[in-house]
């Protein structure tokens, strides 16, 4: 039997194989290397030593402004957005027990996008600071609509994902209509936002997104054991003492709290929540406690790499990161559909 590392506490308990811990350490090292590479590459190619000096003493370093002000907040924003979307997809896939579930497929991202385009079209005069709040409100309303429409003496995973796909299509139609009736300048801004980009991210954006992490990560850890039980099926989970319907509503809300702020600050970056959990399941044990950090770091790597390609491959153009994520995600989604064929 493989060696297990057991953690027991008042609020959570879990065990993971030691082999998965080694894999998690490797994923962590790769994530740090991607972050360092992103700091090195750009209009100016920096050495690792120059990057480290700029991080430790930005005021006295020749490249302090480039590293600390221009690159680091953008890269951290990409990492947080990727990790949040990946965890949102992991929560949804665990809740619905469907490998095709993700926030952009079942309508959460579409709700945020529709609300954001509505703001850009009609309420932009209020100030761009209100855009994230509109996007978060749109995601919450979409999730509420999905849950209410899927309710029939309870909510089943199949009904939830089917209703979610329908709500996503409806929100997509609303978004398209708003873009069609908006001015050219507003339409261009909306298209860029819908593609998904961390261009222009600064420390203020990083500080605004960070509190959502402090709120959602403890909830994910606290619910890990219940999520593991829920994945066994409704009847067995109920037999283990899990209240399935309240848990399902809680997990849907948690998925929204993870995805909506990320979409609000970076736009509708698609497919991260679909891809990252699948990669994580191939690398570590299926225990949610281990999938949680692995999925977060894989999602962070995906968006950081996409942003790195967007700002370096086509200079002087800065291509939105969402373009490169979708280029990977669309074929992967088709592959998953092929594997799930009947």
Is there a domain that residue 32 lies in?
no
Is there a domain that residue 13 lies in?
no
- pLDDT in the model for residue 304: 94
- Here the tokens at position 287 are 């225990």
Q: Backbone phi, then psi, for 197, in 5-degree steps?
A: -155, 150
Q: At what angle do helices 203-222 and 244-266 cross, to 10 degrees?
A: 170
pLDDT band at 9 (very low <50, low <70, confident <90, very high): low
Q: Backbone phi, then psi, for 15, in 5-degree steps?
A: -135, 145
- pLDDT in the model for residue 101: 80
- pLDDT in the model for residue 59: 81
- pLDDT in the model for residue 329: 78
Give the residue from 160, 101, 167, 173 showing the smallest Cα distance to 333.
Answer: 101
- pLDDT in the model for residue 5: 63
Is there a domain that residue 48 lies in?
no
Identify the weakest region by mean pLDDT among 72-81, 89-98, 99-108, 109-118: 99-108
Q: Between these two residues, 154 and 185, which has the higher pLDDT value?
A: 185
- Angle, vertex CA 170, rays to CA 169 and CA 174, nearest 5: 115
Instruction: Report the percent of the chain where pLDDT is more than 70.
Output: 93
Is there a domain that residue 26 lies in?
no
- pLDDT in the model for residue 87: 93
On the question of pLDDT at 153 being above 80, the answer is no
Is there a domain that residue 200 lies in?
yes
328 vs 275: CA distance, rounded Å = 9
Give the CA diameter of the chain. 65
| Structural domain that includes position 156 | 63-339
The CATH number linked to 97 is 1.10.3470.10
Q: Between these two residues, 339 and 280, which has the higher pLDDT value?
A: 280
- pLDDT in the model for residue 127: 76
pLDDT band at 342 (very low <50, low <70, confident <90, very high): very low
Say which residue the tokens 């890990």 belong to: 224
Q: What is the pLDDT of residues 259-300, one digit of tens each?
A: 888 888 888 888 898 889 988 988 888 788 889 999 999 999
On the question of pLDDT at 4 being above 80, the answer is no
Give the residue from 83, 316, 54 showing the smallest Cα distance to 210.
Answer: 83
CB atoms within 10 A of CB 196: 30
User: What's the mean pLDDT when you consider all of the chain?
Assistant: 84
Is there a domain that residue 47 lies in?
no
- pLDDT in the model for residue 159: 82
Identify the weakest region by mean pLDDT among 6-15, 64-73, 332-341: 6-15
- pLDDT in the model for residue 61: 81
- pLDDT in the model for residue 81: 93
Is there a domain that residue 249 lies in?
yes
pLDDT band at 26 (very low <50, low <70, confident <90, very high): very high
When divided into structural domains, the chain yields a total of 1
Q: Which of 44-48, 79-83, 170-174, 249-253 has the highest mean pLDDT?
A: 79-83
Q: What is the mean pLDDT of residues 122-151?
A: 84
Is there a domain that residue 146 lies in?
yes
pLDDT band at 13 (very low <50, low <70, confident <90, very high): low
């Amino acid at each position: 039997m493989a060696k297990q590392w057991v953690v027991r506490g008042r609020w959570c308990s879990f065990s993971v194989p030691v082999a998965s811990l080694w894999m998690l350490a490797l994923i962590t090292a790769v994530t740090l290397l991607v972050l360092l590479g992103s700091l090195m590459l750009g209009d100016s190619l920096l050495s690792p030593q120059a990057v480290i000096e700029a991080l430790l003493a930005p005021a006295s370093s020749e490249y302090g402004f480039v590293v600390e002000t221009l690159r680091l907040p953008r890269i951290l924003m990409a990492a947080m957005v990727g990790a949040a979307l990946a965890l949102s997809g992991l929560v949804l896939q665990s809740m619905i027990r469907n490998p095709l579930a993700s926030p952009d497929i079942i309508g959460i991202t579409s709700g945020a996008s529709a609300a954001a385009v509505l703001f850009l079209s009609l309420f932009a005069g209020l100030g761009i600071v209100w855009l994230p709040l509109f996007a978060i409100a749109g995601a919450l309303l979409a999730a509420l609509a999905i849950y209410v429409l899927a309710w029939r003496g309870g909510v089943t995973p199949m009904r939830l994902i089917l209703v979610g796909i329908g709500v996503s299509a409806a929100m997509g139609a609303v978004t398209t209509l708003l873009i069609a009736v908006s001015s050219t300048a507003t339409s261009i801004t909306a298209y860029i936002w819908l593609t998904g980009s961390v261009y222009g991210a600064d420390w203020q954006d990083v500080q605004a997104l960070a509190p959502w992490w402090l709120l959602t990560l403890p909830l994910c850890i606290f619910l890990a054991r219940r999520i593991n039980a829920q994945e066994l099926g409704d009847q067995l989970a109920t037999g283990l003492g899990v209240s399935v319907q309240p848990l399902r509503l809680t997990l849907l809300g948690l998925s929204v709290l993870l995805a909506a702020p990320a979409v609000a600050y970076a736009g509708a970056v698609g497919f991260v929540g679909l891809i990252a959990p699948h990669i994580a399941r191939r690398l570590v044990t299926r225990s949610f406690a281990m999938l949680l950090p692995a999925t977060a770091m894989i999602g962070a790597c995906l968006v950081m790499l996409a942003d790195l390609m967007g700002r370096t491959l086509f200079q002087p153009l800065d291509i939105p990161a969402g373009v490169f994520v979708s280029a990977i995600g669309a074929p992967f989604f088709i592959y998953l559909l092929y594997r799930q064929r009947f």
